[in-house]
């Protein structure tokens, strides 16, 4: 039972919202006069500022109805400063605002949104962006979120940016003080700070989605695949330590694909070197003569017994000009099984050397082995020639194959971004031949 002498300011101070709700519905004027004592402007202001137990929407509606003239721009500003105020409350404040107040709010929408970002109120941030989408056009709100807010708010801003077509990847690459949001997230990355780590992951998810022409940004996309080719090596290694379960929980071929993508980001120019056997005149002639059995024996011998006397004599007999890989590429004919097998064998062994293995793993996907070693159009043709490699992969493995192919295709563009951040360039040569096809020619088994 509410006492006649109880005042609204006192009940607000004690967060007795149920008592306030009862009072505001009373019709006895004498009781209302006593219980509504105090400055009406202050009553609404006081209610909006409560943080730990914020004003319920149904109570705010009654306060606005009781004191319509108390609503002003300052109260709306205070609402954006409350980290726990509900979206519905903010909606009601703007609904009750007159034209003059709404115009002022519109003109100061970026400032209000920035305040809500700093206070980490994701619901109000999202609502303000929906009402005033122009606030994200400059990228300032997103940059502020990367520096001072949460991963969920960064995700909301980027999602709204995609919806309103604000630059690439939802405005991720809009520059502020020579930095875009991805640059900021990379600079502020802290392995021990979960929020900073998640902010970077959200930015990488949108960057990767734009890079892979995915449109949407699925949250279940593996973190290691997302980061490959987009972050400095020390951050990639850090993420590998934190998200090794992504490698464990997929199939062997899927692990190979993820490992290849990560290797392409980490190894640098060292992975461009071929085993010395590829300069051997014996292997070069075997490729040129279409002697598949000899090609297989030579490569197996060179990788298994590199110290043996027989292989040493073979390695000493080198030939200038084309190496065996280039001869195999020149010989390649997608309609000729022998030339396909020779090229497949060469890329399998060359890839094993790059990845630090003595022999190619059993059933290593030909597509993965070929990427970075031969022109991409030929690599795609090989994948179509040997589709079983892809068909037996799980979803993660197929996503990884698409990422590896994309990394090989767009390396020159992303290398510039890596150089800008003083990172190592990706190392794979794409200038050997112009690409005649795109990734869309790849097997339909690879999910889009």
* 180-234 per-position pLDDT tens digit: 999 999 999 999 999 999 999 999 999 988 888 887 777 778 888 888 888 888 8
Question: What mean pLDDT do residues 425-430 have?
Answer: 34
Question: What mean pLDDT do residues 155-176 have?
Answer: 91
Query: How much of the chain exceeds pLDDT 90, in percent?
Result: 41
Are 443 and 383 contacting, i.e. CB atoms less than 8 angstroms apart? yes
* pLDDT given at position 385: 84
Number of H helices, E strands in the chain: 27, 0
Sign of CA dihedral 233, 235, 238, 240: negative
Tell me the two tokens of residue 91. 């909606």
Torsion of CA 29, 34, 37, 40, to 10 degrees: -20
Question: What mean pLDDT do residues 40-47 have?
Answer: 84
- Determine the 3-state secondary structure of 176 from DSSP: strand
Say if residue 16's pLDDT is above 80. Answer: yes
Tell me the two tokens of residue 230. 């987009």
Cβ-based neighbours of 446, under 8 Å, separated by 6 or more: 390, 398, 399, 401, 402
| Band of residue 76 on the pLDDT scale cut at 50, 70, 90 | very high
Say if residue 91's pLDDT is above 90. Answer: yes
Question: What mean pLDDT do residues 141-145 have?
Answer: 96
Say if residue 416's pLDDT is above 50. Answer: no
* pLDDT given at position 309: 56
* pLDDT given at position 373: 84
Say if residue 4's pLDDT is above 60. Answer: no
Say if residue 149's pLDDT is above 60. Answer: yes
Specify the pTM. 0.78
- Determine the 3-state secondary structure of 190 from DSSP: coil
Question: What mean pLDDT do residues 310-335 have?
Answer: 78
* pLDDT given at position 220: 75
Mean pLDDT of the chain: 81
Rounded to the nearest angstrom, the gap between the alpha carbon of residue 153 and the centroid of all alpha carbons in its chain is: 15
Closest-CA residue to 140 (of 164, 166, 119):
166
Say if residue 55's pLDDT is above 60. Answer: yes
Most confident of the following: 2-16, 105-119, 156-170, 403-417 = 105-119
Q: Backbone phi, then psi, for 24, in 5-degree steps?
A: -70, -10
Cα separation, 1 vs 20, whole angstroms: 12
Cα–Cα distances in angstroms (integers) from residue 43 to residues 11, 63, 66, 101, in the given order = 10, 8, 11, 19
Say if residue 392's pLDDT is above 80. Answer: no
Question: What mean pLDDT do residues 16-25 have?
Answer: 87
Cα–Cα distances in angstroms (integers) from residue 419 to residues 211, 405, 442, in the given order = 18, 21, 30
């Amino acid at each position: 039972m509410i006492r006649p002498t109880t005042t609204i300011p006192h009940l607000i101070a004690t967060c007795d919202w149920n008592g306030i709700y009862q009072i505001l519905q009373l019709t006895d004027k004498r009781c209302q006069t006593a219980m509504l004592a105090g400055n009406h402007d202050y009553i609404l202001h006081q209610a909006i500022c409560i943080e730990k137990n914020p004003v319920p929407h149904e109570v705010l509606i009654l306060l606005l109805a009781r004191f319509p003239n108390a609503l002003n721009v300052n109260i709306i500003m205070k609402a954006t400063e409350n980290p726990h105020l509900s979206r519905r409350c903010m909606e009601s404040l703007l609904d009750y605002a007159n034209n003059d107040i709404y115009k002022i709010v519109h003109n100061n929408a970026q400032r209000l949104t920035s305040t809500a970002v700093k206070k980490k109120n994701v619901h109000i941030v999202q609502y303000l962006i929906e009402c005033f989408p122009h606030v994200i056009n400059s990228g300032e709100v997103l940059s502020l979120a990367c520096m001072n807010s949460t991963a969920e708010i960064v995700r909301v801003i980027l999602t709204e940016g995609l919806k309103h077509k604000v630059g690439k990847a939802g405005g991720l690459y809009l520059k502020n003080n020579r930095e875009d949001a991805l640059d900021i997230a990379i600079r502020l990355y802290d392995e021990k700070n979960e929020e900073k780590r998640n902010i970077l992951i959200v930015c990488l998810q949108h960057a990767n989605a734009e890079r892979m022409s995915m449109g949407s940004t699925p949250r279940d996309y593996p973190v290691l695949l997302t980061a490959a080719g987009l972050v400095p090596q020390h951050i990639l290694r850090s993420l590998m330590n934190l998200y090794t379960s992504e490698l464990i929980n997929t199939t062997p071929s899927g692990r190979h694909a993820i490992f290849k993508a990560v290797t392409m980001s980490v190894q640098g120019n060292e992975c461009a070197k071929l085993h010395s056997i590829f300069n051997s005149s014996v292997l070069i002639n075997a490729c040129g003569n279409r002697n598949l059995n000899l090609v297989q024996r030579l490569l197996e011998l060179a990788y298994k017994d590199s110290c043996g006397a027989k292989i040493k004599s073979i390695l000493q007999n080198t030939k200038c000009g084309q190496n065996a890989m280039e001869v195999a590429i020149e010989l390649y004919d997608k309609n000729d099984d022998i030339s396909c097998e020779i090229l497949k064998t060469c890329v399998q062994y060359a890839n094993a050397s790059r990845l630090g293995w003595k022999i190619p793993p059993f059933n290593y996907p030909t597509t993965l082995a070929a990427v970075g070693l031969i022109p991409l159009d030929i690599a795609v043709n090989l994948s179509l020639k040997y589709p079983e490699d892809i068909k037996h992969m799980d979803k993660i493995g197929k996503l990884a194959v698409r990422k590896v192919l994309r990394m090989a295709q767009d390396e020159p563009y992303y290398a510039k971004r890596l150089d800008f951040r003083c990172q190592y360039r990706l190392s794979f040569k794409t200038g050997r031949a112009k690409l005649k096809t795109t990734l869309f020619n790849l097997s339909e088994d690879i999910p889009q």
